[in-house]
Structure 1
């Protein structure tokens, strides 16, 4: 299995590896080490290896050059700017100590007045130098950040390579994709797998190229492409006209090498079928939580959500769980609080101290509701459902983006298993499901007034919405155990005749990486 992240935090990938190993497959999961140092541990019966991945090709050539015409006084992008800035700060720190020594010096000290005048002159010189260094550093920063790939030259450059090389244009437009190949490819070849499960678009190319090399050696590798999101529906990374065309070209080049495609929803399956002319519909493996995680860490019960928020059992509490970003709509949960007296909001997010969440909390302070907004970190993925169950309702206030419209995302299933009434924006798939099941209320995305209406309705009669979960078979179909059966069926379709599940105790006892914090949410959040 291949994934382009550090595994921790990607619950779909963790569950996929673990359940495949439980079904008898010999699983090695390769990920990218976030610290640049190789790591390994066991995830149940699966082996996890995080690879060190240098990424020099991810830097554009202009990042190595000086912008002489636009910022003539900027430092060269060689690292000298940080060195000069730190040197001036050290100089000023030394001057401060010398000033303190002179302040307490004996008045009879020889040449004391001269020493003070020299010190004053140096202080002025240091201040001028710091201003000069700061200005040049600022110009370097502007030269880096103001360079965008949406100007006419970059659009022409993108169009030229698309015309000349077709789907091979990604090699010029996004050469950083080769960094993944050079880190993962040799390890995959060494493992000599029968099947590669490639998670998302970057890993598709790594898997396909390994399949091609194996074929040249007389070996067959089956490739399963697990598409977590619809690439054309993604917001382009940075302000970059090259990113999306390059990655779409890369995906189109290697999609034909997939022997099976799976994805997270029926809607995305149909989009992938049309986008790549697939002869059959991709298999759907939902981002559902496991009903039984086994004895992963038996002495680690879920923390108490209300205790962390400092609220009692009678305080109305709304929860949001997942990645924090503007398009996730967390702002509306804060903007509504002045109209929801006594209601508290818990934001269980990947970066509770990150810039976006800090901005949300500052917004709450300006509205006078800071004491009712609580930013909390992720919990272990097996703790998510009991942790969230402490709330009165779960919110999914995401904005209208193509990928938001087509899937039941991870938090939807987690809220469901926590039996939480939901307040969801009117994105197509989730809104339709909530309306059909009666498990919550739908509001118009980014409409504070309609959001307040939906929250009040849910909090006024939560039992009515919780009753939806009593429908026979509903929650059972939304479990990872049900999805794991689909996953195993795909593998066995591609590799028939393989042995069944391995009897318990025939593998080494799983060792848990002590540095792994097992955060909660992953693909599709």
Structure 2
């Protein structure tokens, strides 16, 4: 839909294939981008990775979502296929035989139990006959043998597990290996250092080619290569395809996801190789836009599309009532309730919310997280029990992205306790905008961009990251006068610029610039994209 309310027929403006390296569920940015682009008249097909190894599809408004199975044999290293003879000489070979042997021993023991039970019944009924003692002795001997074999199999299985876990890519050899391939192949070294990136190409590349898009929207660094290679193949076939790279993070500032010195150099090389093929770059914050311009020598900063909430994406025919945060926590309207909504991980700093509860009598915490049953969350629950505050910690699962704002609005304040990591310093993250539209007073750690914004708007208090005492101070100040902080949202234009509708206009402007012959059905409004970016930042 354009600013004057006109809607193009689905697909009237061209075909857009969006790529994302996850299962789409839980990724509100790609969901919002796909739906808003489709509503603006583009034919949008969003391709994601199936988490269950089976294809599936559904619709996000007019947009189509397809999840593609992605085998990942190249993500496994060669050592995983070999036996570690020197370090773990008795380990089973990594061929699957260990699981087979363990299951076989369990089956033998199960059979022995049934046979022993049969003898007991026969003896009770007088049907055992001669040789009962001999048969029982034979079964006892089998039971001892099965138990000894089970211990032997378990030991060898344990050695295999240790062999798999023991190999880390952080040794001097791994550093030398990385430096060697960087020297020999330059940015092409990722092919040796992180060959698993080819698994994405082999799964998604043929699908993209078959769809013959006019524009590819590649989300983040893994899918950049998939989109760039598809653009190259299309050009060879005589078709022009435009590529938009949506950079969600600054890769040099990402904490490596594996204990692997090869991971970051490989992914940075991959990104550098294919970034020049992007016809336009968009990203999540002005600070990240400047970093990307410097990192890749871009002619101009990327357009900024903030991770703002979509307030108008609720299904028209959704029959269920909106979830109520306080009802799910079992607390009344007058109970102080602090909410955290987002990924549960140590670097998100949410442990401080539990540690502070003994100093905040009567205050409750709601953790709305992606994995409520994860080991990390279980650790938070255990710590709450140690502190005697388990009854004041409530762990809840995610709700649909269009339900988030009304769901969170039941809290007394929203907390963002993230720690100091490079990518945490440079953006207003999704939950910042969700809390804002829920008109919550904010309690944020002193990461640079969010702290500066909160101090400028007056919508909350800032505390020193990982400092429990300072966090308690900020909570007490906010809870003493929440109306003061909620009043900040009455500032004209503040929340209006922090909506997905405003960001969708920026994204559509990027598409229009790349495909100028695909104008919307109503005349485009005056004003350039960069002015919208500045207002929304």
Report TM bin, short chain.
over 0.9
Q: Check conservation: 2:512, 2:519, Cα contact below 8 A.
A: no
Which residue matches 1:131? 151
Which of 516, 521, 530 in structure 2 is aligned with 1:496?
516
Q: After superposition, where does 1:268-307 map in structure 2 within 5 Å?
A: 268-307=288-327
Which residue matches 1:200? 220
Aligned: 1:418 with 2:438: yes
Which residue matches 1:354? 374
Deviations 1:280-335 (CA, angstroms, capped at 9, x unpaired):
01000000001222534431332111111111111111111001101011111111
Q: After superposition, where does 1:288-367 map in structure 2 within 5 Å?
A: 288-367=308-387
Which of 232, 236, 240 in structure 2 is aligned with 1:216?
236
What displacement does 1:104 show? 4.6
Which residue matches 2:56? 39
Deviations 1:155-197 (CA, angstroms, capped at 9, x unpaired):
1111110000000000011111111111111111111111111
Deviations 1:325-371 (CA, angstroms, capped at 9, x unpaired):
01011111111111111111111101000111111111111111111
Q: How far apart in 2 are the matches of 1:427 and 1:481?
A: 27
What displacement does 1:100 show? 3.5
Which residue matches 1:513? none
Deviations 1:497-525 (CA, angstroms, capped at 9, x unpaired):
214159xxxxxxxxxxxxxxxxxxxxxxx
The root-mean-square deviation of aligned C-alpha atoms, in Å, is: 1.3
Range that drifts further, 209-218 or 377-386: 209-218
Q: Check conservation: 1:24, 1:499, Cα contact below 8 A.
A: no
Deviations 1:354-405 (CA, angstroms, capped at 9, x unpaired):
1111111111111111111111110111110011111111111111101100
Aligned: 1:88 with 2:112: no
Which residue matches 2:41? 24
SS of the residue corresponding to residue 386 of structure 1 reads: helix
Deviations 1:190-220 (CA, angstroms, capped at 9, x unpaired):
1111111110001110111111111112221
What displacement does 1:103 show? 4.2
Q: Check conservation: 1:20, 1:488, Cα contact below 8 A.
A: yes
- CA 17–262 in structure 1, closer or farther in 2 if over 3 Å, else same: same
Which of 367, 392, 404 in structure 2 is aligned with 1:384?
404
Range that drifts further, 384-393 or 32-41: 32-41
SS of the residue corresponding to residue 41 of structure 1 reads: strand
Q: Check conservation: 2:70, 2:200, Cα contact below 8 A.
A: yes
SS of the residue corresponding to residue 402 of structure 2 reads: helix
Q: Check conservation: 1:317, 1:391, Cα contact below 8 A.
A: yes
Q: After superposition, where does 1:446-465 map in structure 2 within 5 Å?
A: 446-465=466-485
What displacement does 1:228 show? 0.4
Range that drifts further, 97-106 or 378-387: 97-106
SS of the residue corresponding to residue 106 of structure 1 reads: helix
Which residue matches 2:286? 266
Deviations 1:13-45 (CA, angstroms, capped at 9, x unpaired):
010011111111111111111111111222111
Q: Check conservation: 1:421, 1:465, Cα contact below 8 A.
A: yes
Q: Check conservation: 1:339, 1:452, Cα contact below 8 A.
A: yes
**Greater relative contact order (CA < 8 Å, ≥ 6 in sequence):** 1
Q: How far apart in 1 are the matches of 2:461 and 2:102?
A: 54
Which residue matches 2:493? 473
Which of 78, 81, 84 in structure 1 is aligned with 2:95?
78
What displacement does 1:135 show? 0.7
Q: After superposition, where does 1:166-185 map in structure 2 within 5 Å?
A: 166-185=186-205
Which residue matches 1:519? none
- CA 34–95 in structure 1, closer or farther in 2 if over 3 Å, else same: same
Q: How far apart in 1 are the matches of 2:402 and 2:266?
A: 37
What displacement does 1:106 show? 2.4
Which residue matches 2:394? 374
What displacement does 1:127 show? 1.5
Q: How far apart in 2 are the matches of 1:115 and 1:179?
A: 56
Q: How far apart in 2 are the matches of 1:228 and 1:260?
A: 14
- Please list every run of 5 or more consecutive structure 1 residues that lacks an aligned counterpart in the other structure: 503-525
Range that drifts further, 98-107 or 377-386: 98-107
What displacement does 1:447 show? 0.7
Q: How far apart in 2 are the matches of 1:32 and 1:238?
A: 20
Q: How far apart in 1 are the matches of 2:376 and 2:163?
A: 24
Q: TM-score, normalised by structure 1?
A: 0.94
Q: Check conservation: 1:25, 1:501, Cα contact below 8 A.
A: no
SS of the residue corresponding to residue 19 of structure 1 reads: helix
Q: Check conservation: 1:17, 1:46, Cα contact below 8 A.
A: yes
Which of 58, 68, 93 in structure 1 is aligned with 2:75?
58
Q: After superposition, where does 1:143-162 map in structure 2 within 5 Å?
A: 143-162=163-182
What displacement does 1:129 show? 1.0
Q: How far apart in 1 are the matches of 2:169 and 2:375?
A: 24
Which of 11, 26, 30 in structure 2 is aligned with 1:9?
26
Which residue matches 1:441? 461
- Please list every run of 5 or more consecutive structure 2 residues that lacks an aligned counterpart in the other structure: 1-17, 523-537
Q: How far apart in 2 are the matches of 1:421 and 1:132?
A: 59
Deviations 1:51-76 (CA, angstroms, capped at 9, x unpaired):
11111111111111110111000000
